[in-house]
Structure 1
């Protein structure tokens, strides 16, 4: 990033962080109103869920772009660079553009800050302000359609200040219980709050109680409900070099043997959801998507930090699994898509996550754990995480070592993997840790 873009990021970091969201929409709406409601100048596909939000968002955006639409994409958190969170036409927003848009919105952000403080409330948070910046940037571009990933929850998430024509739900499970609720039903109820009157609702396979909440909210809003397994489905997926071949029964047509350059059965499901969402946007779900642009969009989709190769000889992957459900998908993908028999997991976890659950899920296939921490004030200290891993892994005899520095954890894991056949290193537990690992691997030249 240039100094101007870095200055924007530092200004955002000076606000209340993403780990402490406010259950409110009015401050975000107030800034947007002062700015002339930029979020109303383009249609929005909004994506909520527990796992798969970012991948589904990125696949959806890639398909839309392949049909000639100018796209905006808002995701979080970022993998390496802050500007990844706001993408225009498939590329992180230009440093000059984000600096200029920040200068445009700042007086109005400060005006609302002052109003909030006068009322005895906290000023706009990091994520509230970032959401405003994204909407303003999309309007400035301008874009034909924006794909917007919910930050946390749904009903009171700042992205919900916009009225999305299409609400998409990836699988909902247990995460952020302190903020969202102690059961899947409660969490799903909060996430279903993104459904707007008369909208289209597209959902991945869900636990029964989660689906009930989505169906309830859709019914109250007189929304059109499009369910995986009913209105559309992933019919088949086969392992291919660099990814998989998927066959999807969509809302309006069938799409055979699309090449998806992402690993994991869950990514095939994410792609099927993305296709149904795009069918709903282009042609209202009644017209099949043209095969060539669809194939092009699926075939170039990327999802940084999701089973991403960052090193060879030995193989090193990063995966953003940050809860037990994500760890289950990771374990399944490693068994199906990679020819390895021993795994060293380099793990760092944020404090609001179920670290024990993640480690217990990985433990059956783990040869060793290298425990460390991402560079975040929300991280579980490496010493504490090591104690958790030893308690979990001790049942199965998994070796667990702690490292203050990620670089040392990676170097030792890489040395171990290079000393044997069919060994692999997997960095997981946090997208922040994955980004740091990818940057270090790039500096070291681990991937030709």
Structure 2
């Protein structure tokens, strides 16, 4: 049995029909070309290049309405839930999410399914002459080439127009105002909870970060044939952030619905494989909603997603969405890498928490919904993240921690992470491993150590976390297909 299938024991097997080696090789060539471009976090604040490319392509992003999602935590989960709800309500969807866990195709999904590697390559090659033309124009004017994220955004918008889709669900990259996705005008703008992340790019405090995120809230186009409002769906926020978001909504004359005021989570109860929710939506109460995801934060993400879809369809007082469709949509919702179970005996979860707020949500979920007798963490963090804050949030729930590197060029070296961990956990609770494989093997060995009676401790668990890259590497290690 291969190492991969040893890890995957107790989980699902690989799909039998996947991309061919030739298709994966061709995609790898495209990714190598894209990787020569600047990453999003080094791009200067401008939409000029991406807007020009969209014009050259015939403005594909104008061919469908959109729900635009920005924020610090929960964007991908909210986007996936919105997608699932729209699909259950018989709309063909296109979805942009980032970053990907395992394969870049995850970023562009149609009908809730990532495009194939062959289609990914085809889209890029179709756009390549126009991309290179914009590169040349920009460089001739003293500017830079399109960034990788700008190219990926253009690929998604073009693919959606070609499909065609009925509605696009668009997750921003890091920001809002200057995010490449913001060449689209969302009919509904969703703002998830805002925290301190990417401060070197978005600003040093909640107010400045909120100001950047608020840029997706826009004035509705003046069209006498199709009069409509833009609607801002806003999660509960710190007062400093909420003030900025509401000011922006007033400036552009957008309608506003706030979590805790116009809509809210009424109740949640833990169930096998997830939780059952009761939600006060914009159009009334939706009850007995099974959500196959763990954590209060996911319940609140569901509340936000439901309000966004209600707003998209014009739901309001006494105008509800079909309850059976809502239940079916949430029951079908998935969010890979978010408290996702990899195997049992011992139980292993992965979670993409990559900042202190995400780590706090993970810790709360582990405390509230599980009763592990011993819990071992496997943690690998990127160097530009608040590793100390992540460790601080996780210390109360992990009995031991195995620190490692996830293999990314941006990864914090395991030795440096170990130093930070020892300061919070103490030397006796920290183990260092060179690779992710070694770290998981070590964690399994710790979880299966004999207790005082000489028998393995029953009810032990392992959580692999610290970044999206870490979660993606763990998914691959356990033989999970990109989703």
Which of 374, 383, 408 is residue 438 of structure 2 equivalent to? 408
How far apart are the structure 2 equivalents of 1:145 and 1:308? 28
Hey, what does 1:157 align to over in structure 2? 179
Q: Which residue of 1 aligns with 2:474?
A: 437
TM-score normalised to structure 2 length: 0.89
Alignment partner of 1:25 out of 23, 47, 68: 47
| Equivalent residue in structure 1 for 2:231, among 195, 200, 203 | 200
The equivalent of 2:255 in structure 1 is 224
Give the number of aligned pairs.
442
Q: Would the aligned equivalents of 1:366 and 1:398 in 2 still touch at CA under 8 Å?
A: no
Partner of 1:377: 409
Equivalent residues of 1:66, 1:294 under 8 A apart = yes
Work out the CA distance in 1 between the residues paired with 2:428 and 2:61: 50
Partner Cα separation in structure 1 for residue 424 and residue 131 of structure 2? 46
C-alpha RMSD of matched pairs (Å)? 1.4
Report what 1:172 is aligned to.
194
SS at match of 1:415: helix
**Structure 1 residue 68: deviation in Å?**
0.7
Matched, 1:355 2:387: yes
The answer to whether 1:421 aligns with 2:458 is yes
1:272 match: secondary structure? helix
Question: 1:283 aligns to what?
Answer: 314
Q: 1:398 to 1:119 in 2, by over 3 A?
A: farther
1:70, 1:145 within 8 Å by CA — same for their partners in 2?
yes
Superimposed CA distance per residue, residues 262-296 of structure 1 (whole angstroms, 9 cap, x where no aligned partner):
00000000000000000011134452000111110
Matches within 5 A, 1:96-175: 96-175=118-197
**Alpha-carbon offset, residue 201 of structure 1:** 0.1
Q: Is the 8 A contact 1:417 1:424 kept in 2?
A: yes
Instruction: Could you tell me which runs of 5 or more consecutive residues in structure 2 were left unpaired when the two chains were aligned.
Output: 1-18, 221-229, 450-456
Relative distance call for 1:398 and 1:159 in structure 2 (3 A) is: farther
1:39-54 equivalent positions in 2, closer than 5 A: 39-54=61-76
Runs of 4+ more than 6 Å apart: none
Which residue number in structure 2 is paired with residue 334 of structure 1?
366
Task: Give the conservation status (yes or no) of the 8 Å contact 1:42–1:144.
Answer: yes
- Structure showing greater radius of gyration is 2
Per the TM alignment, residue 98 of structure 1 is displaced from its structure 2 partner at its CA by 1.9
- Cα distance in structure 2, aligned partners of 1:433 and 1:140: 34
The one of 397, 417, 439 equivalent to 1:365 is 397
Q: How far is 1:441 from its partner? A: 1.8
8 Å contact 1:169–1:204 — kept in the other structure?
yes
Of 294-303 and 113-122, more deviation after overlay is shown by 113-122
- Following the alignment from structure 1 to structure 2, what is the Cα–Cα distance between the partners of residues 390 and 29? 48
Q: Partners of 1:97 and 1:139 in 2: how far apart?
A: 14
Tell me the equivalent position of 2:7.
none
Take 1:195 and 1:285, find their aligned partners in 2: how far apart are those partners? 20
Aligned counterparts of 1:149 and 1:398: Cα–Cα separation in 2: 42
1:323 is aligned to 355
Equivalent of 1:14 in 30, 36, 40? 36
For residues 470 and 102 of structure 2, the distance between their equivalents in structure 1, rounded to whole angstroms, comes to 10
d(CA) in 2 for partners of 1:142 and 1:5?
23
Q: For 1:19 and 1:370, locate their aligned partners in 2 and report how far apart those are by CA, in whole Å.
A: 29
For the residues of structure 2 that align with 1:157 and 1:393, how far apart are their CA atoms?
38
Matched, 1:248 2:279: yes
Instruction: Report how far residue 387 of structure 1 moved.
Output: 1.4
Q: Which moved more, 1:45-54 or 1:398-407?
A: 398-407
Instruction: Report the Cα offset of residue 9 of structure 1.
Output: 2.2
Supply the distance in 1 between the matched residues of 2:314 and 2:208 (Cα, whole angstroms). Answer: 34
Checking the alignment, whether the CA contact within 8 Å between 1:371 and 1:386 is kept in structure 2 is yes
Contact 2:407 2:435 in 1 (8 A): no
